[in-house]
Amino acid sequence: MTPGAKVTVIGLDEELEKSFREFTPEDYEALRPHEIARKKSVPEEVGDAVAQAGADLRAQVSFLGEVAAKLPGTIASRKRLRWPEVGRIFESAGANAVPIVSLISILVGLIIAFESVQPLEQFGAQIYVANMIGLVMVRELGPLLAAILLAGRSGSAFAAEIGTMKVNEELNALETLGLDPIRFLVIQRITAGVLLTPLLTCYGTFMGVLGGVVVMLGLGFPLNLIFHQLAGAVHLKDLALAMAKGVVFGAIVSGVGCLRGLQTKEGPSAVGVSTTRAVVTSILLIVIADAVFSVIFFMLTR
């Protein structure tokens, strides 16, 4: 096309001529795509990403500090910590998770027992399946499975609940009523999470071991022999480790869920983004904490 060229149009239909007259030379500009924003260079994007990760870490640390500072004062006062609300969360995040935790723990117990029977059979050591199931479930998989299920079911729910409150301006309402969202929403969820995760861990571990025992019984081992092997393999310190993991994982899942909920931005997809971020961060932190636990436990029991 030549800009500024003169064109003559003749013999147009009356209707067509009317709409043709509506167009001006400026309309040609209107159809041109807008100038695309300058694309960032790779170092620039890397820098941005690092800065963002740093800011996120900073937010997590300052959130941790804020919660820790407000925790004693809130828990000490019956009026401030709304126990009925803690109970409600306990039920929805804990009691209602029992079926899924049962199913998954039993199946994982079954699977591990089945997979390990054949290799151990080569050495005639099938009876040690019981030892392995006991140790693996109590020390690792029981706490991990419970925490990951909790992150998927309840961490995401916390983020969605608080995120929706933010979108509905309920968090603003809390603030102008002079109420602190950390005190009012976060601490009761963390309290519930810390109380229920060890219980859920305990229960899940039991179900996982049960799954393994079912396989052993199927292979023809008598129950009292299996029990004897389990009692020899799993000690009180292993159970204590599982409970400690439960407490820490519970705090991580509920804390991260609440933090991501509070960080919810505006817009229709904001709550969805928060829930995703809650689950991803929770699982990441759970696995990191689990690794730290393994190292500490190794050092302590060497």
Partner 1 sequence: MTNPADTIIAVRNLKIGYGERIILQNINFQVQRGEVFMILGGSGSGKSTLLKNMIGLYTPDEGEIWIEDGNMAAAGEEERLLLFRKFGVMYQGGALFGSMTVLENVQLPLDEFTELPDPVKELVALSKLKQVGLGTAAQKMPSELSGGMQKRAAIARAMALDPRILFLDEPSAGLDPVTSAGLDLLIKELAEQCGITFVIVTHELASIYGIADRIIMLDCQTRTIIAEGKPAVLREQANDPWVRRFFNREPDPIESPPPRSLS
Q: What's the per-residue H, E or C state across 96-133?
A: HHHHHHHHHHHHHHHHHHHHHHHHHHCCCCCCHHHHHH
User: Which CB sits closer to partner 1, 11 or 33?
Assistant: 11
For partner 1, the closer CB: 6 or 38: 6
Shortest CB 162 distance to partner 1, Å: 12
CB-wise, 24 or 118, nearer to partner 1? 24
Distance (Å, whole) CA 302 – CA 296? 10
CB of 48 to partner 1, least distance (A): 16
Min CB(176)–partner 1 separation in Å: 5
Of 16 and 64, the one with the shorter C-beta distance to partner 1 is 16
Distance separating alpha carbons of residues 102 and 218, to the nearest angstrom: 20
CB of 80 to partner 1, least distance (A): 9
Residue 279: which of 256, 245, 248 has the closest Cα? Answer: 256
* Interface ranges with partner 1 (CB under 8 A): 6, 8-9, 17, 20-22, 24, 79, 85, 88, 165, 168-170, 172-173, 175-179
Nearer to partner 1, 25 or 72 (CB): 25
User: Least CB distance from residue 2 to partner 1, whole Å?
Assistant: 16
Q: Taking a C-beta distance cutoff of 8 angstroms, is the pair 188, 255 a contact? A: no
Q: Which two tokens stand for residue 240?
A: 């204590």
